[in-house]
Structure 1
Amino acid sequence: MKNNGIPLIGILTARKSDGTIAGNGPLFIEIQKKLISLNGISFVFIPEEVETDHISGYCYSPEERRWKKESFPYPDLVYNRIPFRSSEKKEKSQWLFKHLQEKNIPFFNPCFIDKYELFQLLKKDRTLRDYLPETILVQKQHELLDFLKNFGGIYLKPTQSSKGKGIVRLRLDGPSGIQLKGINRLETYPSIAHFWEEWAEELFKKQYLAQEEIRPAEYEGKRFDFRILAHGNQDGYTLTGVGIRLSQEQEITTHIPLGGKLLPYQLVQSNEHDEFIQTIISTIGKSLSSHLGYFGEFTIDAGLSKTGRYYIYEVNSKPMSFDEADIEEKKIENLCRLFLQLIEKSSKI
């Protein structure tokens, strides 16, 4: 297929273990529909089907309501939606990123974000430093105990997971005991040594970090977090939408798949919240892009403590779909306009 001067966007994904193409099909379809209305077109592809002179990919036809496999020239821009960290680390994926740079084809987002690397990066910024919970990499038993004693409660998180997977909370229990609470588990250990004996292998295998427990502000007796979506534009970064996630049966995480409940931002909105959100979006976007490569979109998980202090918990480079229809619609709009802006910008270089 020739693009005949029409902006061509390649959406990069990966193959699942069963051989089928992974990714958010409904999102890809909506992007295609929006791009067509803006006189552009997109196709979905995987690194293994990239050749030196063409790419085999899948193009969605809204008229026929089906995907068609075709041969495409290299796109004007690549939108990285590889959903698995393991796939992104593969040799062919890394070759492709390097190849795109050599061909001056803009692409985003360049990688998944390691939680501890993120903490170290954001800590360098004077504005963001005050919003970060104290965090250490879990390396030694005595360091973890000192950290736990210092705060009374801490969260343990795998540095390379998302959607709340693997998170547990530790609290002191009596003179030497430790209570562990996870999404579906509650355990008590007589001492840090007993905990370490059972958990050390997991902590090192998945490289966990420890983060001070923030006592969160509540809405109707339940903890809530901000889920913030931002996109790049010509002027830097813009807020696409904010959703509120409320804890339900468990308060370890507010992620919807793990039992969190959705609330409209308007229920808790204030000038202070708005100011905090606007302040961090641009600074986080610029920090990520200057150190890791261009981030055209990201989500921020942030919260408010009982004492009224704001915290940044996580930043995600491959946002899940928002359950709020208006935010999801604005996401498609902002994404597609960003695609075209970046293509126009790169054509002038």
Structure 2
Amino acid sequence: MSKLKIPVQTVQSSILQENALMLGDRSMKRLKIPAHGTLQLAFGSFRQDVTVIPVPKSDGLRISEGLAGRAGFKFRHKLNVSYSTGSRTLRLGPLIGVLVSRHYPDQPDRLFGAITMFCRELTNACHAQGAYVYFITPEALETPSSSIQGWVYEEGWRKRSLPIADVINNRLTTRKVENKPSVQHFLADVKSRYGTHFFNEKFLDKTEVFEALKQDTSLQRYLPESHMLTGSAVLKRMCSHYQSVFLKPVRGSLGKGILRISREEGGGYRLQSTTPMGTRKQSYPSLTKLFQAIAPKMKSTRYQIQQGLPLMELGRRPVDFRALVQKNGTGKWGVTSIVARTAGNNHFVSNLARGGTLSTVREAVNKSSLPSGVKDSVQLGLPRAALAIARGIESYIPAHFGELGIDLALDQSGRIWLLEVNSKPSKNDNTPLNDQKIRPSVKQMVLYCRYLAGL
């Protein structure tokens, strides 16, 4: 199979027959396309038999407005082109779909809310790499069809009827929406009917992650002791082993709803909970009384109980590390970035949503009180741990992931621990957005889509 990236433009149907293409003869030679033959044009799920007309001394591809409209694009683009001699198929793209939770039609400049700039950035990255991207919301999936209503950015956001994409990235932000029958049916249908690749296809539960990774002996050293909180007996046993424990909602995110239980010096136990204003503290004379206080929460929320760790601190604020691990253009896992996150005042979690601040790993480690002999080794150990955990997730959880946010911690001796794994890592969390510059994480996402699509 031969591949190129060439300019693709539309011409008036009065100049070019609707089911004909004009292709530069130099491109035809490089792609090994026979002159004046018929072949199949493919763009996502769109297929059309076309006649190819060679154009002397040209590299580009010209398509009639009618054919381009049915295929779903109207503006001039540079697209990757491949030709398969066996199937006589000329493919353009890849066509990439991004499934987002909702749009805001009354805010055209912020059509997708907080991730609008990411959507623009991804569009720019696709243009640079010869791909074509559109954005869809769950409402578009409710009517089964061979095409779909999606949004593209072309001098402003435009709604358009488009083919089913070669690759779909799931950016849904709630489990409730992700689990809707219309969403699940659509995804199963396009996988089987069109061979669409769908990645980051589901949320991860905290207990699911730890139970899966326990199966790999090489990963057990990163895992704090963790269990489902099934009753007071589990709480009492964990509190007898550790100075503090954390109760984390199995399906929580952004540090919401985390509880910290610790022994008090004079006897009794302290319960700390996260609130938008800071940490709420309550004292109880016994674990029995404390459990009675939290038992009502357990009726609506499942908790994972986890060993408390004496985390590395900066200015008495705990620090953890968010690694973004992504599949690359050859389908292999790589670490795109790692940042240190320091908890805000009066907080025991480091999420930016809770007032945390970012710094580089080197800055955080060098400012810490870690033993000087381990400062260099942990800077190498953090990316190694993140990669090993990503591979473990892929091996032991039956789902397709193309990127993972992996939260790691260092204890005060420099040992590396896993805190949690996020299958929907934020796109406006780790680095400031810049309308002119495309971040490495966004470039990497397009490279992986191209790998999946074979373009």
Matches within 5 A, 1:155-170: 155-170=246-261
Match of 1:337 in 2: 447
* TM score, norm. by length of structure 1: 0.91
Match of 1:256 in 2: 352
Match of 1:13 in 2: 100
- In structure 2, distance between residues paired with 1:207 and 1:18: 36
Deviation of 1:48 (Å): 2.9
- In structure 2, distance between residues paired with 1:6 and 1:236: 21
- In structure 2, distance between residues paired with 1:244 and 1:339: 28
Tell me the C-alpha RMSD between the 2 structures.
2.4
Q: Which structure carries more strand by proportion?
A: 2
Deviation of 1:325 (Å): 4.0
> Identity over the aligned pairs, expressed in percent?
26
- In structure 1, distance between residues paired with 2:314 and 2:138: 45
Match of 2:405 in 1: 299
- In structure 1, distance between residues paired with 2:102 and 2:118: 17
Match of 2:150 in 1: 57
Q: Which structure carries more helix by proportion?
A: 1
Match of 1:46 in 2: 137
- The aligned length equals 342
Contact 1:302 1:312 in 2 (8 A): yes
- In structure 2, distance between residues paired with 1:280 and 1:186: 34
Give 2:441's aligned amino acid.
Answer: K
Deviation of 1:146 (Å): 1.6
- In structure 2, distance between residues paired with 1:250 and 1:328: 35
Deviation of 1:152 (Å): 2.0
1:278 aligns with 2:383: yes
Give 1:294's aligned amino acid.
Answer: H
Match of 1:206 in 2: 301
Match of 1:124 in 2: 215
- In structure 2, distance between residues paired with 1:5 and 1:46: 24
Match of 2:429 in 1: 322
Match of 1:135 in 2: 226
- In structure 2, distance between residues paired with 1:323 and 1:282: 18
Gaps of 5+ in 2: 1-68, 73-90, 367-374
- In structure 2, distance between residues paired with 1:287 and 1:240: 18
Match of 1:94 in 2: 184
Q: Which has the greater radius of gyration? A: 2
Deviation of 1:202 (Å): 1.0
CA deviations on 1:175-230 (whole Å, 9 max, x unpaired) are 76221112330111222222222211212421011111100122344321111111
1:35 aligns with 2:145: no
2:218 match: secondary structure: helix
- In structure 1, distance between residues paired with 2:331 and 2:168: 21
Deviation of 1:150 (Å): 1.2
Contact 2:103 2:137 in 1 (8 A): no
- In structure 2, distance between residues paired with 1:95 and 1:21: 24
- In structure 2, distance between residues paired with 1:322 and 1:22: 14
- Higher RCO (CA-CA < 8 Å; seq separation 6+): 1
* Residues 1:316 and 1:276: Cα distance change in structure 2 (over 3 Å): same
